[in-house]
Chains A and B, each alone.
Chain A
């Protein structure tokens, strides 16, 4: 089975729950309805042979020209049998901020979902051990959210850890995509 055939099979079976199917340079991406996300991922594993979850990541659309919900989940699947990739995206409902955990399908999702929870603050229902993984228990912020400042915020958890604000000295220095020379692209202090 090719990746396109797998994506088409999913689209035929879950037509109402799949809102978009994008093929770009051989990469198949499906955008699915959050209510059906777990059902579709379960079907991918049991029926379509996607036995390997490569990665789980999340996006923060704050400030984007984006009509839907703020957060979005991205699941990268791989089939060792057919050697094909499939990407499944799903928005996180703003009302609940919750996604169903897929740890019972792929145990590797355990730490991936903990990282998403730690960095983005997305909650996973059914996760067996949803603790922070990079920051420490008691850290009050979710540092990869778009509204979190790059230099950080001050916190103090006595006897555990503290944080301060990093001096940015005119920064953050960011690159921008440009067709002109590297002078236009290179990192400079800009208003984000």
Chain B
């Protein structure tokens, strides 16, 4: 215990000493964001079944902090576009993306969401990246849950390299500077 009047000794209290970490704000924010990515499950076709499997006990997406599937775009961080995006659905997907608050990311899960897949058709959008920016593409038809988890980990690594404000609050900054 420190003697009364000795404030310097009090600042180096042994209960605190050794538990202080020096870091950058960006790194701290990105560390928190990337380990709590709440998905918006945009399940449109059979990829959604693998997405469900990823959320269930065997693959357990909770190990990566993404177990909280939010069916409200206001509460989610990463939109997982799982399945075939038809033109009829495309603007609805875009609208939900626009409703998501920043910071937000997008995973194109499977061949259809990435490129239209096997549907070279009048009815299918040839990749969701025609409408919204995609951070991670996952190959497969459908991809196995391991592939989705790998995609999620890649997204986490990508977030770690981003600027917490300039890269992740683009819409806000554009609104303020407009």
Which A residues touch B123, using CB under 8 A? 134-135, 143, 152, 163
A-B interface pairs (CB < 8 A), number: 49
Residue of A with least CB distance to B91: A161
A172 CA to B118 CA in the complex, in Å? 12
A177 interface residue per 8 A CB criterion? no
Residues of A in contact (CB 8 Å), total 23
With both beta carbons as reference points, the residue of chain A lying nearest to B125 in the complex is identified as A164
Q: Which of A134, A136, A151, A162 contacts B120 (CB 8 A)?
A: A151
Determine if A162 and B116 form an interchain contact, defined as CB atoms under 8 angstroms apart: no
Q: Cβ of A136 and Cβ of B88 under 8 Å apart? A: yes
Q: Are B120 and A161 in contact (CB under 8 A)?
A: no
- Is residue A150 contacting chain B, with contact meaning CB distance below 8 A? yes
**Closest CB of chain B to A18's CB: distance in Å?**
37
B126 within 8 A of A: yes
Contacts of B120 in A (CB 8 A): 150-151, 166-169, 171-172
Residue B122 CB within 8 A of the other chain = yes
Candidate in B88, B120, B122, B124 with the most chain A CB atoms within 10 angstroms: B122
List residues of chain A with CB within 8 A of the CB of B91: 159-162
CB-based nearest B residue for A158? B91
Q: Is A148 an interface residue (CB 8 A)?
A: yes
**Within 8 Å of chain B (Cβ to Cβ): is A98?**
no
Please name all residues of chain B whose beta carbon is closer than 8 Å to the beta carbon of A148 when the two chains form the complex.
122
Contact pick for B88, options A151, A161, A166, A169, CB 8 Å: A161
Chain B residues positioned under 8 Å from A168 (CB to CB) = 120
- Interface SS majority for chain B: loop
Using Cβ atoms and an 8 Å threshold, which residues of chain B touch A160? 91
Closest to B95 in A: A159
Contact (Cβ within 8 A) B126 A163: no
Q: How far is the CA of A161 from the CA of B125 in the complex (A)?
A: 11
Say whether A153 contacts B122, CB under 8 Å.
yes
Given contacts A150-B121, A152-B121, is CB(A166)–CB(B126) below 8 Å? yes
List residues 101-150 of chain B with CB under 8 A from any CB of chain A: 116, 119-126, 130
Q: Is the CB of A166 within 8 A of B87?
A: no
Q: How many angstroms between the C-alpha atoms of A163 and B85 in the bound complex?
A: 12
Tell me the bound Cα distance from A159 to B92 in angstroms. 10
B residues with CB within 8 A of A: 87-88, 90-91, 116, 119-126, 130
- Give 4 closest A-B pairs by Cβ, nearest first: A152-B122, A166-B120, A163-B87, A143-B122
Query: Would you list 22 pairs from A and B whose C-beta atoms are within 8 A, ordered by A residue?
Result: A134-B88, A135-B88, A136-B88, A150-B120, A152-B123, A153-B122, A161-B87, A161-B88, A161-B91, A162-B87, A162-B91, A163-B122, A163-B123, A164-B87, A164-B125, A166-B116, A166-B121, A166-B124, A166-B126, A167-B126, A171-B120, A172-B120
A residues contacting B by CB (< 8 A) are 134-136, 141, 143, 148-153, 159-164, 166-169, 171-172
